[in-house]
Structure 1
């Protein structure tokens, strides 16, 4: 069981974080200051230290030196976010803003612990590191469907450049994972990747947070501060949900892209920055620009390279692979041994549309692992609503009537697989995969599997790419 030390002087926050971590099967110790942590505990013996940045006496960053290699996660308020970025340059593994989201905290903790476990294996097996990585392994994203293989190829081509990238996709599809892959495979990989959720910062603070401010620039600005764009100098700035950025901040960001310089709020002087920008959104920026809600000139500056992340329901064959990976991760984290899905649970996972995408799938599996009382997870613990008839084993229970569907070829002598092949070839030019599956009375996954088995390629779209 991983052992985590919380260093936080506010008792309420420390207790709440302790309960959260213990509920998720971590062993937890506490301290109220760096001095108390040093006197009461052997810091290198922990798997992770989570520390507030501002503590009585020495700051939380002092633990980076004292921990002798143990990863340190810094907690900070938005008012001192730039200091947290500085702490990463000093060796902190990551930072998280308070008040933090529970899921975000747990995901960050799990990622840091996972990276720590993998590091010794990578050092112990240098030869393995030289071997070519699988398509998703080197990028850090699970997926083998055609759409994801195409995306991985584009990531490899785009990552070594300094071009601005716009990642588009529904909420929960993993846009930040793509941004991290672009950074990790770039020449800026050793420099910081600064991630900013534009929707999470109050509109009144966004310009100051991004571009910094001078002393006296506004009420409460008692000292000058560095902005996040400046903190990313030499590295990568990832702006998530950029569609939520106010118009005034958009104008300042445009200057960064056009001139490679920033001007702090309240300053009359500009300074050069070397930043590679990656932006992400689930909104239609082009449509917003036509209605004046997003600057059109900024949209075209952002849209140098556009990467479209498919929704989970469009990733034929990937959903079960992703679910199995999440199950292994949650089982290990909660020390549940080897868990598996029941056949009904697997069919539910493949059949459900997952409107919340990968994030919804991960949450469903985490909930199921917590509630499961055996080593096999039943379908009902996933907490999703799939009609029973969608899970029937007989995929061809309701074949469409060829006369109704406009096909006049004789079918009485055809086997079910002959009929399947005939029907798909007859209708795939004017039906989507979803419509074909619905007409055949099967799931999209089953349609994909039978295409593979019978060697029926999907029709390539003739529509021009956008």
Structure 2
């Protein structure tokens, strides 16, 4: 059983984190400061140290000096991105911003322990040939090695591309709807690359204020702007030697895009307020749910940057397009939540299994995981019902449609028959436009096998306005 040391001065946070880790089969010790940890424990004897950055006395990064190779995960809520850069440069294996959710912490802990265990058990004298064969064997474990659940044809094709692309230094653009797991793909690309032991720095471009994005990414010099009391490295610099993952890159301002283009073209950065450039060795992985090519045509995204990013494009399918994968993913989430909540006897009732297969999951994997977590918490028996999952879908008449992946069979009575050239979204759009003049919203939703709320959300996403007629007011 892995032994983890928590160093955190806030008792409530420390106790909550201890309970979380102990519920997930970890042995846990705790301390309120670096000094207390050194006095009570042998720091190198632990498998992992999870420490707050700001502690009374010495900062949490002091533990890195005494860890003797034990990985240190830093928690920070103080200007988290900037603090994270400093922590990573001092040797922290990773960082996590407070407040964190439980799943985020557990994933980070499991990943760090796994990576550390693997690094300790790879004999240095292993020959290159044996290493190659073992690597191939590990990679053959496809989605297990890659860390993504699912085996539908679209995902198998994705796994194949990940294996081919990961060992290279090519830039990668991951495309897919929100909630499909684009960061998992980025992490798989990093973990299977030659940069796996170097940092993977993940940045959500939409989460950083536009006024700060350039400073956070590229760093700044002292006095570069009001409040810049000291120079700081940026996240690109922190990723030197490793991988930089820019999520929602379509939200990056044009000025920051120009700086990023320089990184890709010249392999160098210039901090805000500096006249000197410095070299960096960074592999860039970007992700977006937006149409970057379309944005480039209207001047909202640099066309030259788009083509630099689009060296390798990986398309992550929506959950509704993955067939039986949805049931496999749901069972995995149920097992995880049961372990977390201490429930060992839960299962999906038949109506829940049916609802999971037929619901279109507009929020994709993230929505599915949240629905199952809620159901496990609220379930008072052993069977989780469709009602507990909160799925608003008409189940009658769907029992025999086991291969449903987004639109039900009864919608096919339209005069527009679906063809191989039409995606599910195309078919949805054509169906609504053809029938909305003589069907109410309720009837449209029922024919499509979705809720009225889901119908409205898809109208908004696809830009299909409601006709102003009496027929559509139902």
For Structure 1 versus Structure 2, the TM-score category normalised by the shorter chain is 0.7 to 0.9
Map of 1:15 onto structure 2: 12
Map of 2:106 onto structure 1: 109
Q: Confirm whether residue 239 of structure 1 aligns to residue 246 of structure 2.
A: yes
Residue 179 of structure 1 aligns to a residue whose secondary structure is: helix
Q: Is the 8 A contact 2:94 2:199 kept in 1?
A: no
Residue 183 of structure 2 aligns to a residue whose secondary structure is: helix
Q: Is the 8 A contact 1:8 1:52 kept in 2?
A: yes
Alpha-carbon distance change, 128 to 361 in structure 1, aligned in 2, over 3 angstroms: farther
Alpha-carbon distance change, 443 to 118 in structure 1, aligned in 2, over 3 angstroms: farther
CA distance in 1, matches of 2:183, 2:292: 18
Map of 1:341 onto structure 2: 348
Q: CA deviation at 1:125?
A: 11
CA distance in 2, matches of 1:22, 1:226: 35
Map of 1:219 onto structure 2: 226
Aligned pair count reads 416
Map of 2:74 onto structure 1: 74
Which of 185, 191, 196 is matched with 2:192 structurally?
A: 185
Q: CA deviation at 1:67?
A: 5.5
Q: Confirm whether residue 151 of structure 1 aligns to residue 152 of structure 2.
A: no
Q: CA deviation at 1:88?
A: 3.6
Map of 2:214 onto structure 1: 207
TM-score by length of 2: 0.75
Q: CA deviation at 1:41?
A: 6.0
Map of 2:54 onto structure 1: 54
Residue 354 of structure 1 aligns to a residue whose secondary structure is: coil
- Of stretches 76-85 and 58-67 in structure 1, the one that deviates more from structure 2 is 76-85
CA RMSD for the aligned pairs?
A: 3.8
Q: CA deviation at 1:119?
A: 6.7
Which of 265, 268, 271 is matched with 1:258 structurally?
A: 265
- Of stretches 65-74 and 258-267 in structure 1, the one that deviates more from structure 2 is 65-74
Runs of 4+ in 1 over 6 A off after TM superposition: 1-4, 26-29, 44-47, 121-129, 398-402, 404-407, 433-436, 441-444
Q: Confirm whether residue 289 of structure 1 aligns to residue 292 of structure 2.
A: no
Map of 2:395 onto structure 1: 388
Q: Confirm whether residue 248 of structure 1 aligns to residue 265 of structure 2.
A: no
Q: Structure 1, residues 120-169: CA drift from partner, whole Å, max 9, x if none?
A: 69988999985663321121111211111111111112112211111111
Q: Is the 8 A contact 1:330 1:369 kept in 2?
A: yes
Alpha-carbon distance change, 311 to 300 in structure 1, aligned in 2, over 3 angstroms: same
CA distance in 1, matches of 2:159, 2:113: 25
**Structure 2 spans left out of the alignment, 5+ residues:** 124-132, 432-446, 451-474
Q: Is the 8 A contact 2:71 2:116 kept in 1?
A: no
Map of 1:37 onto structure 2: 37
Q: Is the 8 A contact 1:53 1:84 kept in 2?
A: no
Alpha-carbon distance change, 388 to 400 in structure 1, aligned in 2, over 3 angstroms: closer
Q: Is the 8 A contact 2:85 2:234 kept in 1?
A: no
Residue 54 of structure 2 aligns to a residue whose secondary structure is: coil
Q: CA deviation at 1:265?
A: 0.5
CA distance in 1, matches of 2:333, 2:393: 21
Alpha-carbon distance change, 154 to 343 in structure 1, aligned in 2, over 3 angstroms: same
Q: Is the 8 A contact 1:369 1:377 kept in 2?
A: yes
Q: CA deviation at 1:118?
A: 8.7
- Of stretches 218-227 and 49-58 in structure 1, the one that deviates more from structure 2 is 49-58
Which of 307, 321, 330 is matched with 1:323 structurally?
A: 330
Alpha-carbon distance change, 247 to 308 in structure 1, aligned in 2, over 3 angstroms: same
CA distance in 1, matches of 2:237, 2:415: 63
Map of 2:92 onto structure 1: 92
CA distance in 1, matches of 2:188, 2:335: 22
CA distance in 1, matches of 2:303, 2:60: 43
**Structure 1 spans left out of the alignment, 5+ residues:** 408-425, 445-466
Q: CA deviation at 1:74?
A: 0.8
TM-score by length of 1: 0.77
Q: Confirm whether residue 229 of structure 1 aligns to residue 236 of structure 2.
A: yes
Map of 2:318 onto structure 1: 311
Residue 207 of structure 2 aligns to a residue whose secondary structure is: coil
